[in-house]
Structure 1
Amino acid sequence: MSDEAQPGYVRVRLDLSYDGSDFHGWAKQAGGRRTVQGEIEDALRTVTRTRDTTYELTVAGRTDAGVHARGQVAHVDLPEELWAGHGEKLLKRLAGRLPKDVRVWALTQAPEGFNARFAALWRRYVYRVGDQPGGVDPLLRNHVLWHDWELDVALMDAAAKSLVGEHDFAAYAKKREGATTIREIFDFGVRRSVDGIVEIEVRADAFCHNQVRSMVGALLFVGDGHRGVEWPRAVLDAGVRDSAVHVVRPHGLTLEEVAYPADELLLERQRQARRVRVRTA
């Protein structure tokens, strides 16, 4: 993966959002399954009239099937002449071509050193849960998980705070060959919104596969009284998957925001992000 666009190409940043309900995740898959990446790349081919060429997107965070995004970021490298000829019109053309469950809100020429994945400082997710006895508002059913036990938000918040910091999250992650499970959580908290929805918000440099949904599963057990407030940290310290930790359903999860450093720090951030982290203790 290149740090820079190749000669003759322009790196373009895309800011986008999507409802993940009918997508099999972000990344293209064999077998023709519908994905966010596939829809956007198909639309780009159509609006730029380059049917025989696919300009591949690189994304800040690959979301799983059913997960939503409000503040996703991606980049694509386009030929200079194509960007010069189509750039000002691309946004409106994409709006007319893309399906209604995915929108591109901005297309801008990226600064030197920008890489949507490796230059990101952090990603912020929110998982939404409804615990009202009657269930979830039908208008929110694709974005809020119904939990049929009343939740103690204060206990959940205390348990979430115990996971803040840099740790090996192997106990909350689906292991991938050759990938580290060491991550740094900057903020982790739980609140109840004015409409009664429980919002579990976490911000970290990056996340392992299934990490957020696994941590939410542990917090729900604390909130409904099935486990003590110390249990999520005990699971983390054990370092192995606990069969009691459930990976909650994806539809309650939304990628809300991705942050990047100042332009002059983009390359250095890429170098930091590409280093494989190891446990020091």
Structure 2
Amino acid sequence: MGGEHADANHEPGSLTRLRIDLAYEGGAFHGWARQNGLRTVQGKVEEALSRLLRLPGLIGPGVAGESRGVEAFPFSGERGAARRGEEAWRPRLVVAGRTDTGVHALGQVCHVDLPQKALSAVVGHMDVPAPVALERRLRHLLPDDIAIHSVGYAPSGFDARFSALERTYIYRVCDDPARLDPRLRGFVLALDGRLDLEAMNQAAAAAIGLHDFGSFATPNPGGTTIREVKYARWDRAPTHPLLCEGQGPGEGPAYLAPMAESGLVCFTIVADAFAHNMVRSLVNACLKVGLGKRRVDWFQGKVAHPEREGSTGPAPACGLTLEHVAYPPDNQLASRARSIRAKRTLED
């Protein structure tokens, strides 16, 4: 379908909301949220959008550079004075879950409101809808540690943050030095001691449900550390080779190439939302139990009596990845966004 047809329901002077699905390797980023003078995922994507849409106010050369022009345009408000006295719209991304410095994302979701006129202009010579054109151009402009999976018109009522039903994170650990693959060091935590998964799962079970996670997290200003965890479990990834005996040439391959995640210990946690440092602090506490440094009842006590006292600091960021964000059907997006804005209480 050509861009002219896809844009038929969007008035040229109106704002259009887009949903952007993306992934990133977080090792070289100071987290998701833009910060002046620091390399962030939000800063890179917003800068690229400004360049592609030719929105004024941006200073500095190409977006792909590691230190050139980053965060050079003002963010005091979404509307700003353009060159030649025109009104400009500067892109502001709203994300499903802000990731910390060094944390990765495979299934991150955000939305952005853009002027339809500027969006339509991105199509150029391409005979594709405007979001598809923007998607293609973003892929060419962004650094290689950010991957754009898709860009599309957002359904009515969609809010990347407040419409979300749940987020899924996975933390990956290698607890066997003989199987340690240094190529995976960017997203796997390496440990010397073998982990007791049974004890770790007894501990993790205490985190399931609606709790105040004050022992494991810090609240945002005006917020709380009350969250509902729907699933929390440690598992060892099955060991599978890429080839099995008899599948190679001749009588079989001389070497069975292993799958990258074979044998890793993975913590999967699903919740409606997460407080700052919550997942990594839960991981660190579980690791203490798994290494025999703490007892299960110690972990259970930390859940029952929320108190931040230093023994449950966050595990290293490298092992954590935001894997997936789930949303309700389109006709429930707006009502979900309205309801989730209310402050949580343990009586909910």
- TM-score tier by shorter-chain length is over 0.9
**How many correspondences in the alignment?**
276
| Identical counterparts, % of pairs | 45
Distance in 2 separating the partners of 1:98 and 1:37: 11
Alignment of 1:193 with 2:193, yes or no, is: no
Q: Is 1:232 the counterpart of 2:303 in the alignment?
A: no
Aligned residue among 256, 262, 267 for 2:323: 256
1:58 to 77, 82, 94: 94
Matched, 1:17 2:23: yes
Going from structure 1 to structure 2, the CA distance change for 1:213 and 1:167 (only over 3 Å counts) comes to: same
Deviations 1:218-264 (A, max 9, x none): 10011111112232221111110132213111010000000000011
Q: How far apart are the structure 2 equivalents of 1:221 and 1:135?
A: 21
Give secondary structure in 1 for the equivalent of 2:321: strand
Counterpart of 1:95 in structure 2 is 139
Q: How far 1:97 moved relative to its partner?
A: 0.4
One-letter identity of the residue aligned with 1:270: A
For 1:64, the aligned partner's letter is D
Question: Is the CA contact 1:135–1:146 (under 8 Å) kept in the aligned structure 2?
Answer: no
Task: Tell me the equivalent position of 2:175.
Answer: 131
Distance 2:114 2:161 in 1: 18
Once the two structures are overlaid, the 10-residue window that deviates more, 151-160 or 101-110, is 151-160
1:184 Cα offset (Å): 0.2
Rg bigger for which structure?
2
**Judging changes above 3 Å, is the alpha-carbon distance between structure 1 residues 213 and 161 closer, same or farther for their aligned structure 2 residues?**
same
- Match for residue 120 of structure 2? 84
Determine which of 15, 40, 43 is the counterpart of 1:38. Answer: 43
1:273 aligned residue = 340
Q: In the alignment, which of 199, 213, 236 is matched to residue 280 of structure 2?
A: 213
> Which ranges of structure 2 fall in alignment gaps of 5 or more residues?
1-9, 58-88, 123-129, 239-261
Q: CA RMSD in A?
A: 1.8
Q: Distance in 1 between matches of 2:301 and 2:189?
A: 25
- CA shift at 1:84, angstroms? 2.9
Once the two structures are TM-superposed, the CA of residue 134 in structure 1 deviates from its matched residue by 4.4
Cα offsets for 1:121-179 (capped at 9, x unmatched): 00000000111134731110010011221101122122111210001111111233311
Kindly indicate whether the alpha-carbon contact (under 8 Å) linking 2:210 and 2:346 is maintained by their aligned counterparts in 1: no
Measured in 2, the distance between the counterparts of 1:199 and 1:216 equals: 10
Report runs of 4+ in structure 1 exceeding 3 Å deviation.
none
List per-residue Cα deviations over 1:80-132 (Å, max 9, x = no partner): 22233322311111111000000111011001100000000000000001111
Choose 127-136 or 234-243, whichever is displaced more.
127-136
The whole-number CA distance in structure 2 between the counterparts of 1:170 and 1:208 is 9
In structure 1, how many angstroms separate the alpha carbons of the residues matched to 2:150 and 2:220?
Answer: 33
